[in-house]
Amino acid sequence: LAKTTQPISMDSYEGQEVNITCSHNNIATNDYITWYQQFPSQGPRFIIQGYKTKVTNEVASLFIPADRKSSTLSLPRVSLSDTAVYYCLVAPFFSGGYNKLIFGAGTRLAVHP
Amino acid sequence: DVKVTQSSRYLVKRTGEKVFLECVQDMDHENMFWYRQDPGLGLRLIYFSYDVKMKEKGDIPEGYSVSREKKERFSLILESASTNQTSMYLCASSSPEGQFFGPGTRLTVL
């Protein structure tokens, strides 16, 4: 399973765009990249998933370069409620291996007024 | 929406007690998981199940067992609770769209 590296913490202000980059140098061909958000005393919440190029949904965008050795989660115009820990995970999309997700320490994002 | 529920949000048990943590999902997912989360250690996989009556050890199975008698229900069992099992326990089920987590059970073993 590909190991990921993310910044431990980030600070931002309300209304700004936040980009969190994750490195996954040994990503495999059948690996997908998934991001989760976790608030204190709650389970992680799925944000977005992608394989290559760009994926966008109602809450975030995910940018994946051609070599797929990194990915960037982009949160547009953050608010105080976006203060949370963000996890980047890499795992095969199918097969039993997909399920063995490894959560690292994540990135603790603090949004200030 | 996928819903994963856990039987208790908070639980306090004594050392040596047998503890059952229940998890139910309503989306007919085949795969279900139990994690524990501790400060500074992130989420660690205890056990997972990819079908009824099937189970596989995760990274930290010692001191735990699991039961999957029905597709929607996955139980985590602490045979004899110890203080080092005080933690937040998270259940999840998965589909190709990702893993969906329950709210967690904060277990304290005294």
Residue in A closest to B99 by C-alpha: A46
Q: How far is B77 from chain A (nearest CA, A)?
A: 20
* Partner-chain contact A99 B88, CB within 8 Å: no
Cβ A46–B35 below 8 Å, yes or no? no
Question: Are the C-beta atoms of residues B85 and B12 closer than 8 Å to each other?
Answer: no
Distance separating alpha carbons of residues A44 and B92, to the nearest angstrom = 9
Q: In angstroms, how far apart are the furthest CA atoms of chain A?
A: 44
- The pLDDT value recorded for residue B99 is 79
Q: How confident is the model at residue A97 (pLDDT cuts 50, 70, 90)?
A: very low
Residue A98 has pLDDT above 90, yes or no: no
State the greatest distance between any 2 C-alpha atoms of chain B, in Å, as a whole number: 39
Query: What secondary structure does DSSP assign to chain B, as a single string?
Result: ---EEES-SEEEE-TT--EEEEEEESS--SEEEEEEEETTTEEEEEEEEEETTEEEE-S--TTEEEEEEETTEEEEEESS--GGG-EEEEEEEEETTEEEE---EEEEE-
pLDDT for position A94: 57
* Residue A13 C-alpha, separation from nearest chain B C-alpha, in angstroms: 25
Q: A95: pLDDT confidence band, cut at 50, 70 and 90?
A: very low
> From CA A9, how far away is CA A106, in angstroms rounded?
8
- Of the candidates B76, B89, B5, the one whose C-alpha atom is nearest the C-alpha of residue A41 is B89
Q: Are A87 and A36 in contact (CB under 8 A)?
A: yes
If contacts are CB pairs under 8 Å, which of residues 6-45 in chain B contact chain A?
Answer: 31, 33, 35, 40, 42-45
Give just the sign of the alpha carbon dihedral A108, A52, B58, B25. Answer: positive
- Given pLDDT bands bounded at 50, 70 and 90, which one contains residue B39? confident
Cβ atoms of B16 and B81 closer than 8 Å: yes
Which B residues in the span 44-83 are in contact with A, Cβ-Cβ below 8 Å?
44-45, 48, 50, 56, 58
pLDDT for B77 equals 98
The answer to whether the Cβ–Cβ distance between A94 and B106 falls below 8 Å is no
B53-102 pLDDT per residue, tens: 889 898 899 999 999 999 999 999 999 999 999 999 999 988 776 778 99
CB A19 within 8 A of CB A77: no
Per-residue pLDDT tens digits for A53-88: 999 999 999 999 999 999 999 999 999 999 999 999
- Per-residue pLDDT at A102: 72
A51 and chain B in contact, CB less than 8 A: no
Contact present, A6 and A72 (Cβ < 8 Å): no
